[in-house]
């Protein structure tokens, strides 16, 4: 998945190999320090518990450790309450980028009112730290992380946000810094932020959600699936996700010159060995992790059946590895060979795989080089690449099920029909249902978009307007700050 949002240059681009070693080596002592601090806090003779958590290599070789005072014993009574946001800030995964987008937005918009009534603190929690991701973060983001990780936060006066997969919540089901750090009794209010991509929530996750004072989910789809599965209706709150419309702004970027990538399917015996040097008339782009869930098989089937070498069209695939090796070209060729898709008389339509690393900073240019974005997913929590494409004013063809139903309409894009719901056959969500997008409808939509570019462009324009109006960091920061304010009022940490 693409990296964090408001920290847009945050993709692990510079990859200092020697640093990687060093931090991995450092990680256990760091964790030990964090745990020691926690234990120190829980056996603290002080009536209230103070927390100082470390995030990242603050005391590492990168910066000589400054002598830090132990917990500041002065009373917190007169200070504003605090929000301790605990998320996998250093993992580089989906929750990581979402958490960054919230804390960066809250921090940036504190001046205009959002988050005026509380101080913000963060701690790493959940997925493992990725040194590569940490080193790839821009200085600005690292400094924000240092600052927020060093913010004083007294649990008794804190709203704790556990932003992760519920298995990591207290008590964690695997080795992880728990959230809340010392259980549910110490903080004033505990919020769980999570989401799933199927039609339900497993019983263990329901149980864990119900331990929270509130559960924040990104869409109405999730409100409904969580409540239907047994999560207390009164606790489930919709809090949408932000997209960085300032960064993903088509006016600020030039299109990446095409062709790039490696041609996978090319017309037989053609000169297209390295792609058509003059490029193609219409460019589809898809961005996804290599996972069955993303519906890449549906996309290949639809594209290769609908188009041939005679069509002035190309499909670009930007693929990230997901528990898989990166030989996507081999995998795609094998899929086509083993499938019933027949090579058209005029040869295969062109598909290009971008298998080199595209830094986050170049993503907008890639979107800009495309005429339409397509993702026939089987289920999404939110669909970050989709909203990024929409912010870049691209018309999108995306499955009208799960997360995308929150923002995708017939006015701002092309909702893709599903044929039916099907059972997940393996993994932790076995037995749950997810969507099977329609290959026929996808073929029809792709053909239609090429035929009516005028309409496609106007839907793209509307897509950007909708993103700016409903999902900009500023707007989402206000939504989050309002929900936190409600929690503060409920717990009487502030008057209303």
Ligand X SMILES: *[C@@H]1O[C@H](CO)[C@@H](O)[C@H](O)[C@H]1NC(C)=O
- By CB under 6 A, name the one of 117, 229, 361, 458 that touches ligand X: 117
Q: Per-residue x/- mask for ligand X, residues 466 to 485, rule CB under 6 A?
A: ---------------x---x
Single out the segment in contact with ligand X by CB under 6 A; choices: 83-91, 111-119, 151-159, 448-456. 111-119
- By CB under 6 A, name the one of 66, 410, 426, 454 that touches ligand X: 410
Report how far residue 130's alpha carbon sits from residue 490's, in angstroms, rounded to the nearest whole number.
37
Closer by beta carbon to ligand X, 179 or else 477: 477
451 contributes a contact to ligand X by CB under 6 A: no
- By CB under 6 A, name the one of 16, 113, 279, 451 that touches ligand X: 113
Closer by beta carbon to ligand X, 179 or else 445: 445
- By CB under 6 A, name the one of 400, 402, 412, 472 that touches ligand X: 400
Closer by beta carbon to ligand X, 101 or else 400: 400
Rounded to the nearest whole angstrom, what is the least distance from the CB of residue 421 to ligand X in the complex? Answer: 12
496 contributes a contact to ligand X by CB under 6 A: yes
Closer by beta carbon to ligand X, 265 or else 416: 416
Single out the segment in contact with ligand X by CB under 6 A; choices: 123-131, 269-277, 325-333, 488-496. 488-496
Report how far residue 214's alpha carbon sits from residue 233's, in angstroms, rounded to the nearest whole number.
10
- By CB under 6 A, name the one of 15, 68, 79, 116 that touches ligand X: 116
405 contributes a contact to ligand X by CB under 6 A: yes
Closer by beta carbon to ligand X, 210 or else 422: 422
- By CB under 6 A, name the one of 292, 365, 491, 494 that touches ligand X: 494
Residues 6+ apart with CB under 8 A from 65: 58, 59
Rounded to the nearest whole angstrom, what is the least distance from the CB of residue 193 to ligand X in the complex? Answer: 19
495 contributes a contact to ligand X by CB under 6 A: yes
Rounded to the nearest whole angstrom, what is the least distance from the CB of residue 448 to ligand X in the complex? Answer: 14
Binding site for ligand X (CB under 6 A): 113, 116-117, 400, 405, 410, 415, 481, 485, 494-496
């Amino acid at each position: 998945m693409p990296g964090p949002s408001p920290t847009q240059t945050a993709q692990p681009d510079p990859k200092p190999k020697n640093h990687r070693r060093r931090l991995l080596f450092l990680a256990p002592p760091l964790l030990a320090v964090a745990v020691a601090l926690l234990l120190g806090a829980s056996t603290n003779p002080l009536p209230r518990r103070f927390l100082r958590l470390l995030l990242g290599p603050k005391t590492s070789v990168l910066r000589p450790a400054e002598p830090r005072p132990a917990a500041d014993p002065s009373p917190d009574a007169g200070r504003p309450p605090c929000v301790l946001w605990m998320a996998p800030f250093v993992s580089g995964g989906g929750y990581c980028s979402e958490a960054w987008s919230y804390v960066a937005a809250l921090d940036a918009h504190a001046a205009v009112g959002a988050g005026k009534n509380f101080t913000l603190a963060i701690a790493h929690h959940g997925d493992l730290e990725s040194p590569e991701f940490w080193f790839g973060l821009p200085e600005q983001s690292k400094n924000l992380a240092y600052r927020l990780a060093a913010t004083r936060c007294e649990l008794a006066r804190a709203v704790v946000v556990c932003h992760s997969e519920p298995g990591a919540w207290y008590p964690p089901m695997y080795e992880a810094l728990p959230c809340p750090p010392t259980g549910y009794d110490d903080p004033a209010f505990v919020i769980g932020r999570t989401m799933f991509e199927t039609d339900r929530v497993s019983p263990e996750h329901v149980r864990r959600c119900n331990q929270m004072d509130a559960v924040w989910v990104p869409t109405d789809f999730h409100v409904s699936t969580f409540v239907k599965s047994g999560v207390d209706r009164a606790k489930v709150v919709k809090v949408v996700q932000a997209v960085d419309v300032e960064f993903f702004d088509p006016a600020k970027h030039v299109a990446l010159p095409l062709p790039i990538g490696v041609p996978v399917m090319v017309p037989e015996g053609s000169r297209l060995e390295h792609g058509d040097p003059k490029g193609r008339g219409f460019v589809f782009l898809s961005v996804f992790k290599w996972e069955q869930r993303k519906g890449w098989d549906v996309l290949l089937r639809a594209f290769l059946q609908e188009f041939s070498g005679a069509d002035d069209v190309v499909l670009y695939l930007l693929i990230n590895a997901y528990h898989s090796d990166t030989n996507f070209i081999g995998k795609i060729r094998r899929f086509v060979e083993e499938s019933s898709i027949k090579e058209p008389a005029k040869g295969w339509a062109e598909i290009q795989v971008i298998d080199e690393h595209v830094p986050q900073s170049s993503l907008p240019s890639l979107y800009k080089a495309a005429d339409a974005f397509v993702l026939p997913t089987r289920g999404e929590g939110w669909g970050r690449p989709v909203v990024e494409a929409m912010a870049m004013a691209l018309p999108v063809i995306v499955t009208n099920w799960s997360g995308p139903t929150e923002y995708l309409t017939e006015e701002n894009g092309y909702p893709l029909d599903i044929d039916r719901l099907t059972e997940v056959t393996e993994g932790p969500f076995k037995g749950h249902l997810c969507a099977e997008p329609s290959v026929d409808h996808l073929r029809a939509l792709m053909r239609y978009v090429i035929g009516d570019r005028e309409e496609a462009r106007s839907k793209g324009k509307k897509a950007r307007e909708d993103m700016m109006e409903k999902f900009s960091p500023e707007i989402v920061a206000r939504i989050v700050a309002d929900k936190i304010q409600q929690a503060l009022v409920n717990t009487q940490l502030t008057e209303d």
